A and B are shown apart, each in its own frame.
Chain A
Amino acid sequence: MGDDLVFKALADETRRFLLDLLFKQDGRTLTDLESAIDMTRFGVMKHLKVLEKANLIAIRWAGREKLHFLNTVPIRLIHDRWIDKFTERQVAALAGLKADLEAKACRPTRKRA
């Protein structure tokens, strides 16, 4: 259900840039985000709305200020359900190789001990 919204939200350069901005500094206002992008306030609002619908942005109110927080859980869910499935073998192989090489380099006598 939510995966489509997340993929669609991520399929746009400006929206990815907005997430990057929040990654650098979380909990920002519209005015603050707008100042970092060459776009109208309305344009930025529209993009933030898409990110909010995909749950990639969580809203917190500090008094009358609407703060935007990066929510990484949907990306994690896609990672866990999709990316992991396809990369598991490579990662396991690389992790095994790394462990082997390090064991040889650092502890050559380990296996005999």
Chain B
Amino acid sequence: MSTDAKTSVTTQVYEVYIKATAQSVWDAITTQEWTAKYGYRGKMEYDLRPGGAFRAHAAPGMEAYGMPAILIDGEVVEATPPTKLVQTYRMLFNEDTKAEGFTRVTWDIEQNGAGFTRLTVTHELQGAPGMAAMVAGKFSEQGSGGWSWILSDLKSLIETGSTLA
């Protein structure tokens, strides 16, 4: 087995086709009004320039369960609206993942001719096995949560105006 294949093993890729424009998908990812409506319902704060801060705020009620006010933090590496967003990503709500430090998330948004936009989330998780398990949805008993759950909910919100959860 080549070393290339080995280094790629820790990367996870999630893809979904959404019946919407690239701009609406971009807005759903980067604006607080939208991010509070799907997935974990927290407000995502992005300073959309290289070096700008990223903070995922806890949704109302989460702090009662002992969650910190900022769940995830990171930095914007590249912001090219509405097609590409690269950022770092560190989970703060769990001591193990916090110690694993920053990983890298790339959002690729590509509109095709048929009225669909392909959203691809590539999460590079070298040295972060705890976070890798969480974003793969292995942290709740029902196997829910993680990127596939978030993207499924996002698709539902954009296409139908309501979420599944």
State the CA gap A25–B132 with chains docked (Å).
13
Q: A29-B5, A73-B16 are in contact. List 13 more A-B contacts (CB 8 A).
A: A26-B8, A26-B9, A28-B5, A55-B16, A55-B17, A58-B15, A72-B14, A72-B148, A73-B147, A73-B148, A76-B149, A80-B156, A91-B142
Say whether A102 faces chain B, with CB atoms less than 8 Å apart: no
Inter-chain contact B13/A71, CB cutoff 8 Å? yes
Nearest Cβ distance between residue B107 and chain A, in whole angstroms?
Answer: 14
The contact string, 1 if C-beta is below 8 Å from chain B, for chain A 65-100, is 101011111111100110010000001000000000
CB-CB contacts of B93-122 with A at 8 A, as 1s and 0s?
000000000000000000000000000101
Cα–Cα distance between A21 and B79 once the two chains are bound (Å): 35
Which residue of A55, A70, A80 is within 8 Å of B164 (Cβ)?
A: A80
* A29–B13 CA distance with the chains assembled, in angstroms: 15
Shortest distance from the beta carbon of B132 to any chain A beta carbon, whole Å: 10
Known A76-B149, A84-B164; judge A27-B9 contact (CB<8 A): yes
Q: List 24 A-B contacts (CB under 8 A).
A: A25-B9, A26-B9, A55-B17, A58-B13, A58-B14, A58-B15, A58-B120, A60-B8, A60-B122, A62-B5, A67-B5, A69-B12, A69-B13, A72-B14, A73-B15, A73-B148, A73-B152, A74-B16, A75-B148, A76-B148, A77-B155, A80-B149, A80-B156, A91-B142
Residues of A with C-beta under 8 A to B17: 2, 55
Question: Which residues of the other chain, B, contact A2 by a CB distance below 8 angstroms?
Answer: 17
Residues of the A chain whose Cβ atoms lie less than 8 Å from the Cβ of B9: 25-27
Size class of A's contact patch?
Answer: 20 to 34
**How many A-B pairs with Cβ below 8 Å?**
71
Inter-chain contacts of A63 with B (CB < 8 A): 4
Look across to chain A and name the residue whose beta carbon is closest to the beta carbon of B149.
A76
How far, in angstroms, from A49 to B4 measured CA to CA in the complex?
Answer: 22
- Expressed in whole angstroms, the minimum distance between the Cβ of B81 and any Cβ of chain A is 23
Chain A residue numbers with a CB within 8 Å of B13 are: 26, 58, 60, 69-71
Q: Which residues of B contact A84 (CB under 8 A)?
A: 164
Interfacial residues of chain B within 5-33, with CB under 8 A of chain A in the complex = 5, 8-9, 11-17
- A62 engages B8 (CB within 8 Å): yes
* Interface assignment of B64: CB less than 8 Å from any CB of chain A: no
Which residues of A are found within 8 Å of B153, using beta-carbon distances?
A: 80
Residues of B within 8 A of A80 (CB): 149, 152-153, 156, 164
Distance of B29 from chain A, by nearest CB (Å): 15
